[in-house]
Every structure is written in C-alpha cells, then in structure tokens.
Amino acid sequence: MLNVQLLGLVLSSAGLPLLGTFQNNQPVSGIALYVTPLQSPLLTTGGYAGYLDSISSLQGILHILVYGIVLIALSVLFGWFWVQSTGMDAASVSSQLNSAGLNISGYRQDPRITQRILENYIPAITILGSFGVAVLAWFADITGALGTGTGILLAVGIIYKLWEDLTKQEVFQSHPSFGGLF
C-alpha cells in the first residue's frame, strides 16, 4: 500500500494525478487516499470527537471499507504465498512428516495419503489465519490504536520471539529476576 502512495506522489508531482492528488505529501483523493491507514485520534485535532466526525462522512466510511478490503485481500494473498514458498504446504509437510517417521493415526504411512489429508486443512487454516490477522490489524487502525495495527502485531511478534529465545537459552532459570519482565 505504501508503493501506491509513493507512486501516486511521484505521478502527482509530475502533473499526472492518476492515483490521487496530494497536499503536503498526504493523499487527499483517489486510490492513494483509500489505501492509506486512518490517522490516529491521538494525532488529529479535536481528539477522539474530531476523529469520529472525520470518519462519519461518506468519504470516511468509504475510506474505512476500501482500506479494510485491500488490507484483508493483500494479507490473505501474502499468507498464501508465504505458506507455498516456505515449505509449509501440504506436500512439503507430508514429506517432512514421512522423513521423521510420523504419520496420522488410522491411515497408512504413505506421504500421498498424508498430503491428501493435509490438503483439507492447510489452505483453510492459511486463509482463516491471514484473514484474522488482517481484521485484527484493521480493527486496531479504525479504532485509533496508538501506532498502527500492523505495528502492534509486529511488536507483539518481536517480543514473543525474544521471550522464546530467552526461554531456549534458559535465562529465566539462571537469572530469576528476569522472570518478572515477562
């Protein structure tokens, strides 16, 4: 979505407002406006009341809906590509399970059968998970969370990874005072 804004700004500066018009490097119309995250009520004049006034117009509602649809669609598409490119698809997981000597109980230990079973679950979970993360980020954006919904998800992911790394290194057992941090 940032690429749309950047390309729109370059085109608008060149006199071709194909993706929208800009004032003070901020989109004010066109598709560039609608794929821009909403301004936080903490940053707008008038606080939360001013924020609610700005989104209660038809353009504000359209902005919220278009931004949400684009965010959800791109998140699902990214999730699908991520699963396919990182070896988390049904065929790769089936071969990983087979090479580890694991199988699904009640079925023969054949990677093709395991793959067929996993094909019933992995695509649906991928789409549902991507949809859920996108809706969470969108909800945080439209309710005016400090930062953006994507930023909140990124921060939680980084903190969780730090906690996993510290647990793996057994820092909490050797230094009990760190236990109060998490």
Rounded to whole angstroms, the Cα distance separating 28 from 177 reads 51
Of the candidates 50, 52, 8, the one whose C-alpha atom is nearest the C-alpha of residue 33 is: 8
Q: What DSSP assignment string belongs to 3-56?
A: HHHHHHHHHHHTT--SS--EETTEE-SSHHHHTSPPPPTTTSTTHHHHHHHHHS
Q: What are phi and psi of 68, to 5 degrees?
A: -65, -45
Rounded to whole angstroms, the Cα distance separating 119 from 89 reads 8
Q: What is the value of pTM for the model shown?
A: 0.73
Yes or no: say if 126 and 75 are a contact pair by the CB < 8 Å rule.
Answer: no
Rounded to whole angstroms, the Cα distance separating 146 from 73 reads 24
pLDDT of residue 131: 96
Of the candidates 41, 51, 35, the one whose C-alpha atom is nearest the C-alpha of residue 1 is: 35
Domain boundaries along the sequence of the chain: 37-146, 148-182
Rounded to whole angstroms, the Cα distance separating 28 from 140 reads 22
Query: What CA–CA distances, in Å, run from 179 to 71, 122, 161, 169, 172?
Result: 37, 36, 16, 13, 6
pLDDT of residue 95: 92
Per-residue pLDDT of the chain (182 residues; tens, 9 = 90+): 566 667 777 777 777 777 777 778 777 777 787 888 776 655 666 666 666 666 677 888 888 899 999 999 999 999 999 999 999 999 999 999 999 988 888 888 888 999 999 999 999 999 999 999 999 889 888 877 766 777 888 888 898 898 888 888 877 777 776 666 65
pLDDT of residue 119: 95
